[in-house]
Structure 1
Amino acid sequence: MQLYQLKSKQLLPITIKEAWDFLSNPKNLALITPKHMGFHILAGADRPMFQGQIIQYIVKPFPLVSTKWVTEITHVREGKYFVDEQRFGPYALWHHKHFLKEVPEGVEMEDVIDYKLPFGFLGQLTHPILVKKQLHKIFEFREKKLAELFGTVDGKENFLSIRKI
């Protein structure tokens, strides 16, 4: 069983409240997801985030491949972090932790995603040529969109890595 981990950090020149208000609203996920992914919320985004919330959406991870994805918000600590876990979808495991931390420049957003691909060895073969590249593109798009919406912190580098764990 091969597990992978994506880690991403981004600094934004905004307050914790501004970051939390934006990130804890499920409807905003569509704004920070590339258009080509065909992201569309089906249900569950009609109220602010809460523990136990189920969100259903359609996503196209690759051209001509559309899938239903169902996540549950399993942990919420307002202004600090939340966790979403896939219940049904394209991954064998998807556990996504979103952390916010106040820093002198504004807010540091950190994402830690532990995931496993389906289909055993065949899934592992697709990781470097399809999945890893796609996740990089998604998080690079998100970084640019958040910078466009909220600005950047001069002289500070953002961070993105994907590795086996």
Structure 2
Amino acid sequence: MKLYKIETVQHLNTTIEQCWDFFSSPKNLQTITPDNMSFVIQDFDEKRMYPGQIITYTLKPLLGIKVSWVTEITVAKENEYFIDIQLFGPYKLWHHKHFFAPTETGVKMTDIVHYALPFGFLGRIMNKLVVENKVKSIFDYRRNKIEELFNSKK
């Protein structure tokens, strides 16, 4: 199984409490996901993230094909980090770590995603041709949206 990694770091002009308040609410996933992916939360318990929380949603990541995705929050430490994994969905493995650290000027946010695709050799080809660029474009969108939400002058 070929494992891929994407890591991003972003500085936010906000407090750790405001940052955690936003990112620990599954409702805000839709805000930071590109509109063209038709992301819709199907079910979650309306609570802030906690270990064992299940979130189900649908999205259209490629070619307008609707996909169901189920994630679990495996670890969450308030104002510090949380980890989500895919239980069911398009990836063979999806493990996403979110870290938040206060700085003198705000918060340093680090995302680390490890993912693997099904179908062996064909999955590696699909990653090179399509998936890697798609995942990067989603994180680029997210970076820009978060920049707008936290770092733009109002």
Question: What do you get for the CA RMSD once the two structures are aligned?
Answer: 1.2
TM-score, normalised with respect to structure 2:
0.96
Identity %, equivalent residues: 47
CA distance in 2, matches of 1:47, 1:14: 22
Report the equivalent of 2:147. Answer: 147
Does residue 86 of the first structure (1) align with residue 86 of the second (2)?
yes
| Code of the aligned partner of 2:134 | Q
TM-score, normalised with respect to structure 1:
0.90
Runs of 4+ aligned structure 1 residues displaced above 3 Å come to: none
CA distance in 1, matches of 2:121, 2:142: 30
| Code of the aligned partner of 2:42 | L
Aligned pairs, number: 153
Report the equivalent of 1:104. Answer: 104
- By percentage of residues, which structure has more strand? 1
Where do residues 118-133 of structure 1 align in structure 2 (5 Å cutoff)? 118-133=118-133
Report the equivalent of 1:66. Answer: 66
After superposing the two structures, state which structure 1 stretch, 101-110 or 87-96, moved more: 101-110
Report the equivalent of 2:19. Answer: 19
Alpha-carbon shift at residue 63 of structure 1 (Å): 2.2
| Code of the aligned partner of 2:37 | M
CA distance in 2, matches of 1:46, 1:10: 27
Alpha-carbon shift at residue 45 of structure 1 (Å): 4.8
Report the equivalent of 1:160. Answer: none
